[in-house]
């Protein structure tokens, strides 16, 4: 009888903890991370120590975050800035190539720094897709789709997991900051 009560209490405690678990968010930094100069190679244990569990799941295990989650909502409200790999700091995308495709994940029509983004054939889950990975650390970012009819310069949609990105807001120049201060 005591073990049944303990088991019930344990299950109840776990249920409460899971309800209180924070939904993943996209990391934001005031400063751009250092750009890697070469290939970034780390052991699995090093990645686990440096990344959050969600970043590790996305970048190292090719996971996918939930569609229309907190990360996507946050992405939709971010202004000008750049998006870097959460694993190695490589510049990947910018707000200049960002667009709202209404797919539930961050979308870009082109990388900001093409040499930091590579693609490869993905035949997982019974589908044929094109996977997008960070060229510096081989972190999984998402997939790219072509010919969907979006009114963008490339007609491509880089459908990216925001949990694998670090957003760096653009710095305002001194003149813009002074104008904002003078507004009533």
The CA distance from 47 to 79, in Å, is 29
Q: Could you count the other beta carbons within 10 Å of the beta carbon of residue 99?
A: 15
Catalytic residue at 159?
yes
Active-site annotation holder among 85, 134, 137, 159: 159
Q: Could you count the other beta carbons within 10 Å of the beta carbon of residue 159?
A: 21
Q: Could you count the other beta carbons within 10 Å of the beta carbon of residue 109?
A: 20
The CA distance from 13 to 69, in Å, is 25
Q: Could you count the other beta carbons within 10 Å of the beta carbon of residue 73?
A: 14
**Which residues are identified as catalytic?**
159
């Amino acid at each position: 009888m005591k073990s049944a009560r303990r088991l019930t209490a344990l299950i109840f405690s776990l249920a409460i903890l899971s309800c209180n678990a924070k939904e993943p968010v996209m990391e934001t930094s005031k400063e751009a991370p250092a750009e890697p100069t070469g290939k970034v190679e780390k052991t699995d244990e090093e990645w686990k120590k440096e990344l959050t569990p969600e970043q590790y799941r996305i970048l190292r295990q090719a996971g996918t975050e939930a569609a229309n989650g907190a990360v996507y909502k946050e992405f939709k409200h971010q202004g000008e800035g750049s998006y870097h790999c959460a694993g190695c700091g490589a510049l990947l995308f910018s707000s200049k190539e960002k667009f709202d495709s209404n797919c539930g994940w961050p979308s870009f029509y082109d990388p900001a720094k093409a040499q930091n983004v590579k693609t490869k054939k993905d035949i997982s889950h019974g589908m044929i897709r094109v996977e997008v990975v960070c060229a510096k650390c081989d972190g999984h970012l998402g997939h790219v789709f072509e010919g969907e009819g979006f009114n963008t310069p490339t007609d491509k949609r880089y459908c990216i997991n925001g949990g694998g990105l670090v957003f760096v807001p653009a710095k305002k120049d001194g003149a813009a900051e002074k104008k904002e201060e003078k507004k009533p």
